[in-house]
Chains A and B, each alone.
Chain A
Amino acid sequence: MRKFYVGLGLLVFLLTGASLAQGENFDNLTISGYLRNETATHLYDFDTLMKIQNTLQLGAEYRFNDNLHLFVLVRKFYDFVFDVEDKYKTVGDQLRTNTGNSWLREVYLDILTEKVDIRLGKQQVVWGTADGVRVLDRVNPADMRNAYLDDPVDYRIPLWMLKVEYAPTINGTLQFLVIPDFEANYSAPAGSPFTYRVAEIGARNAALFPGTIDWQEEKPKDGMDSSQIGVRWLDMLPNGLEYSINYLHGYDYSPAVYTLGMTPPGPPGPGSTLHLMRKYERTEMYGASFTKAINSGALAGLSIRGEFAYIQDEPVPYGTDGMTVGITHTDRYNYVLGFDKYLWANTLFSYQFIQFINSKDREKGFCLLNEATLGKADKIETMMTLKIAKSFLHERLKPEILIIYGFNNDWKISPRVVFELRDYLFLTAGLHLFDGKPSHLYGEFVDHDQVYVKVEYGF
Chain B
Amino acid sequence: MGKFLLKVLGILVAATFLYFPVKGNAASKPYEGISAEELMKIKYDIKYTKFAKDFHCIGDFYLTDKRGFSRHRRFLRDRIILNRPADGLDYKDMVVITKPANIKGLAVLTWSYLNPKREREQWLWLPSQRKVRRTSPSRPDDAFLGSDFTVEEITSRKWEDETYKILREEKFSGYKSKFTGETYYSGLDCYVVEAKPKKENWYYTKRIVWLDKKTGGSIFEEIYDQLNRKDRIIFRKYDFLPEGPAHNLLECTNLRTGHWTVVKLSEVKFNSGLKEGAFTYKALERTKW
Residues of A within 8 A of B (CB): 32-34, 59, 61, 69, 71, 110, 112, 114-115, 117, 124, 126, 128-129, 131, 137, 151-153, 156, 165, 167, 170-171, 173, 234, 236, 238, 240, 242, 291-296, 300-303, 305, 340-342, 345-346, 391, 394-396, 420, 422-424, 426, 456, 458-459
Q: Which residue of A lies closest to B98 (CB)?
A: A30
Given A156-B130, A424-B100, do A342 and B138 touch, yes or no (CB 8 Å)? yes
> Distance in Å from the Cβ of B34 to the closest Cβ of chain A?
34
B67 within 8 Å of A (CB atoms):
no
Asked whether, in the complex, the Cβ of A71 is within 8 Å of the Cβ of B288, the reply is yes
Q: Which residue of B lies closest to A240 (CB)?
A: B121
B residues near A296, Cβ cutoff 8 Å: 117-119
> Distance in Å from the Cβ of B279 to the closest Cβ of chain A?
9
24 A–B contact pairs at CB < 8 A? A69-B288, A71-B288, A114-B275, A126-B129, A129-B133, A156-B130, A170-B277, A173-B282, A234-B281, A236-B281, A293-B122, A295-B118, A296-B117, A296-B118, A301-B136, A342-B136, A394-B63, A394-B147, A395-B145, A395-B146, A396-B146, A422-B71, A424-B101, A456-B102
Asked whether, in the complex, the Cβ of A301 is within 8 Å of the Cβ of B139, the reply is yes
In whole angstroms, what is the CA distance A303 to B137 when docked? Answer: 10
Asked whether, in the complex, the Cβ of B119 is within 8 Å of the Cβ of A293, the reply is yes
Q: Restricting to B167-217, which residues have a CB under 8 Å from any CB of A?
A: none
Q: Which of B65, B127, B132, B280 contacts A170 (CB 8 A)?
A: B280
Task: Find the residue from A61, A131, A394 having the highest chain B CB count within 10 A.
Answer: A394
In whole angstroms, what is the CA distance A423 to B101 when docked? Answer: 8
Asked whether, in the complex, the Cβ of A33 is within 8 Å of the Cβ of B101, the reply is yes
Asked whether, in the complex, the Cβ of A117 is within 8 Å of the Cβ of B135, the reply is no
> Distance in Å from the Cβ of B79 to the closest Cβ of chain A?
16
Contacts A59-B289, A110-B286, A300-B119 supplied; 13 other A-B pairs, CB < 8 Å: A32-B104, A32-B289, A112-B286, A114-B275, A126-B130, A151-B129, A152-B129, A152-B130, A234-B281, A293-B136, A341-B136, A394-B71, A423-B72
B residues near A234, Cβ cutoff 8 Å: 281-282
B residues near A346, Cβ cutoff 8 Å: 138-139, 142-143
Q: Which of A32, A115, A153 contacts B128 (CB 8 A)?
A: A153
Pairs of residues from A and B, 6 with the lowest C-beta to C-beta distance, nearest first: A395-B146, A458-B101, A295-B119, A291-B134, A394-B146, A126-B131
Asked whether, in the complex, the Cβ of B281 is within 8 Å of the Cβ of A153, the reply is no
Q: Which residue of B lies closest to A426 (CB)?
A: B102
Q: Restricting to B39-88, which residues have a CB under 8 Å from any CB of A?
A: 63, 65, 71-73, 87
Asked whether, in the complex, the Cβ of A167 is within 8 Å of the Cβ of B142, the reply is no
Q: CB-defined interface of B245-289 with A at 8 Å, one 1/0 digit per residue? A: 000000000000001000000000000000111001110011011
Asked whether, in the complex, the Cβ of B121 is within 8 Å of the Cβ of A173, the reply is no
B99 within 8 Å of A (CB atoms):
yes
B residues near A59, Cβ cutoff 8 Å: 288-289
> Distance in Å from the Cβ of B242 to the closest Cβ of chain A?
26
Given A156-B130, A296-B118, A340-B136, do A394 and B99 touch, yes or no (CB 8 Å)? no
B residues near A294, Cβ cutoff 8 Å: 136
Q: Restricting to B92-120, which residues have a CB under 8 Å from any CB of A?
A: 99-102, 104, 117-120
B residues near A238, Cβ cutoff 8 Å: 87
> Distance in Å from the Cβ of B145 to the closest Cβ of chain A?
7
In whole angstroms, what is the CA distance A242 to B281 when docked? Answer: 10
| B interface size (C-beta, 8 A) | 47
In whole angstroms, what is the CA distance A310 to B120 when docked? Answer: 33
Given A32-B289, A293-B121, do A394 and B143 touch, yes or no (CB 8 Å)? yes
A residues near B122, Cβ cutoff 8 Å: 293
Q: Which residue of B lies closest to A61 (CB)?
A: B288
Task: Find the residue from B130, B148, B281 having the highest chain A CB count within 10 A.
Answer: B130
> Distance in Å from the Cβ of A106 to the closest Cβ of chain B?
8
> Distance in Å from the Cβ of A60 to the closest Cβ of chain B?
10
A residues near B285, Cβ cutoff 8 Å: 165
In whole angstroms, what is the CA distance A301 to B136 when docked? Answer: 5
In whole angstroms, what is the CA distance A88 to B264 when docked? Answer: 52
Q: Which residue of A lies closest to B74 (CB)?
A: A423
A residues near B148, Cβ cutoff 8 Å: 394
A residues near B121, Cβ cutoff 8 Å: 240, 293, 295
> Distance in Å from the Cβ of A103 to the closest Cβ of chain B?
18
> Distance in Å from the Cβ of B91 to the closest Cβ of chain A?
14
> Distance in Å from the Cβ of B148 to the closest Cβ of chain A?
8
A residues near B102, Cβ cutoff 8 Å: 34, 420, 424, 426, 456, 458
Q: Which residue of B lies closest to A395 (CB)?
A: B146
B residues near A61, Cβ cutoff 8 Å: 288-289
Asked whether, in the complex, the Cβ of B128 is within 8 Å of the Cβ of A303, the reply is no
> Distance in Å from the Cβ of B117 to the closest Cβ of chain A?
7
Q: Which residue of B lies closest to A127 (CB)?
A: B131
Asked whether, in the complex, the Cβ of B142 is within 8 Å of the Cβ of A423, the reply is no
> Distance in Å from the Cβ of A418 to the closest Cβ of chain B?
9
Asked whether, in the complex, the Cβ of B280 is within 8 Å of the Cβ of A153, the reply is no
A residues near B275, Cβ cutoff 8 Å: 114
> Distance in Å from the Cβ of A432 to the closest Cβ of chain B?
17
In whole angstroms, what is the CA distance A294 to B137 when docked? Answer: 10
Asked whether, in the complex, the Cβ of B286 is within 8 Å of the Cβ of A153, the reply is no
A residues near B131, Cβ cutoff 8 Å: 126, 128-129, 137, 152
In whole angstroms, what is the CA distance A291 to B100 when docked? Answer: 30
B residues near A153, Cβ cutoff 8 Å: 127-130
B residues near A173, Cβ cutoff 8 Å: 280-282
Asked whether, in the complex, the Cβ of A124 is within 8 Å of the Cβ of B101, the reply is no
> Distance in Å from the Cβ of B28 to the closest Cβ of chain A?
30
In whole angstroms, what is the CA distance A303 to B134 when docked? Answer: 7
B residues near A420, Cβ cutoff 8 Å: 71, 102
Asked whether, in the complex, the Cβ of A458 is within 8 Å of the Cβ of B139, the reply is no
Task: Find the residue from B127, B136, B286 having the highest chain A CB count within 10 A.
Answer: B136
Asked whether, in the complex, the Cβ of B286 is within 8 Å of the Cβ of A117, the reply is yes
A residues near B129, Cβ cutoff 8 Å: 126, 131, 151-153
A residues near B104, Cβ cutoff 8 Å: 32, 458
A residues near B146, Cβ cutoff 8 Å: 391, 394-396
In whole angstroms, what is the CA distance A341 to B137 when docked? Answer: 9
> Distance in Å from the Cβ of A448 to the closest Cβ of chain B?
23
> Distance in Å from the Cβ of B68 to the closest Cβ of chain A?
14
